[in-house]
Structure 1
C-alpha cells in the first residue's frame, strides 16, 4: 500500500525504530553492527593513528585528502567511502564512490528521503544499512519514503555495493555521516568490520576533525551561496539541461555552438559549484537557488520544514 503522506505514522515509527526507540506494540530492537570485537593493543592502535596523521598531514586539497583516506581504508579492506555533512542540509563532502552512482543519487534527490541520513541525525551508534532494509521489508505498510529507500538500495546493488557501515559523528553541534562499503558479500564484509572496528572509527573521526581543520572552507556548511560565482552562459546551459532535459549535442544544435564550447561552459559550472559531475552541478545550482527545481510535484521545502529532519 502506497501512502500519499511521506511523513505518516509508519515513517515516524521507522525513525523511532532506527534510532533505538521501538514503536508501540513492537517487541525488540533492530540488531546493530557487531559490538565488543577484539580490541587493538595500545601500541598497535597508537601506531595506526600516527600513520593516519602522517599520511593526511601533507595533503594540500580536499581531493588529495579524500584519496589518502581512501588509501587508508583500502588497507583495512574497504574500497569506497563517503562523508556527508548533515546540517543545515545534507551535503556530500568527500567520496570515492563511482561517479555514476553519485550522479544517480543526486539526480534522484535521494538525500531528501535517505533513511541512512535520518538515522545519523538521531543516533550516535554505528549500524549496517542492511538493518534498515530488513525493517522496511518487514513493515506491514509502505510509505512513499520506504519505497524510495528500496529504490536506493537497488541503485547501490546495481553498482555492486550490497552493504554499508554507517557511522554517525558529532563534532560540536554539527552532525556527519561517515559511510564505508566494499563490493563484498555480507560474511566477508562483517569479518572485516570485526577485525578493524577501532581503526574504522578512528578514520571516520579523523575525516571530520582533521579534515575540517585543514580545509575549513570545504567543510563549512553555511554561506555557500556567497562563494559561488556563475556567469550567465554556464548557468543558461545548466538551466536548459534541467528544464528541457537536453543533452550536450542537442544544446549545441539549438544554440548554434559547438560541443567543445558547451563542454567548456559545463566545466566552468562544475568548478564554480565544486562538483565532479554535470548532474551534481545541476543539483547544487538548484539547491543553492540559482535554478528553480524542475520537479512539478516537488514538495522538498514543505516536507523538510514539517518533518524537522533537515533543519
Structure 2
C-alpha cells in the first residue's frame, strides 16, 4: 500500500499555506500558491527556475486560460493574471458570498468550465459551497454548508466530479455532464482511515484513481474509482495540501505543503514543512483543459 518513493525537495518556498499545485502542459511549468502570503509561484522543473507574483489578496488557485492568461480565485472574487505584464485584473465578484469567506481550490472540466469552492476564512462557520464558472457566468453547483471546501476535481472523461469536505473528513462524488451536475454522494470516508488527518486538495490520474493530500497526515492517499484506498506516500512534512502530476511524461508528482500551524517541535519533526516536494509517481496524470473565459 505504501509507495515508498524517494521524496525530493524542489524548493524551500517557506509556504505558510502552500496550495493549488497545477501543471501547465503548454508552458511546461508548475503553478502553485501560498494563500496566506498572497503569492503566486511559477516553477520550471527543467532548470529549477522559479518566481513569485504578488497577488492583491489571498489567492487560492490559478488555472491556465485562453489568451495566455491565468484565471485566479482570490478572497474577493475571480481575477485574470497576465504572466507577461504581471497584472491581476478583477473579473467578477462571486454573488452571495459572505464577506468572511474566501475562495480555496478549483479545477477545469473538459468543456473549459471552472469548478471552485469557497470557505470561511476563520475555518469555523459552515458558509462554504461550490460554484461553476461557465464562460463568464457564475452559479452555485454542488454541495453547500461546508466550512472548508477542497477540490473539486473532475475525471479525465468528465463523467464524474469529486468534492471534498475537509472538516467532515469526506470526499463526495457526483455524476457530471455537459448539462450539469448530479446529487453528491459519499465516495470515501477518510476519517475512518486517517482519523487524525483531513482530506485536502484532490486530483484524478490517468487510471481514474483519486489522490488527496492529507493535512495533519504527512501523506497523500490514492483511491480506486470505487472509493477503496489502494496506496499512500509519506512525506517529511506534516500538512500536505495538494498534488499535481506533471513533467514530460506526466509522472512527476509535485506536492505543496504548509507550515502555518507548525510549532518549533513540529518543525523539527517535519523539516520540509512549507517546501515544494516531489516524487516519481507509478501512474501518469491527465492534461487539463484551458479555461474558456467567454
Select the structure with the greater relative contact order (CA < 8 A; seq sep ≥ 6). 1
The TM tier, using the shorter chain, reads: under 0.3
Normalising by the residue count of structure 2, what TM-score does the alignment of the two structures yield?
A: 0.28
Normalising by the residue count of structure 1, what TM-score does the alignment of the two structures yield?
A: 0.27
More helix by share: 1
Rg bigger for which structure?
1
More strand by share: 2
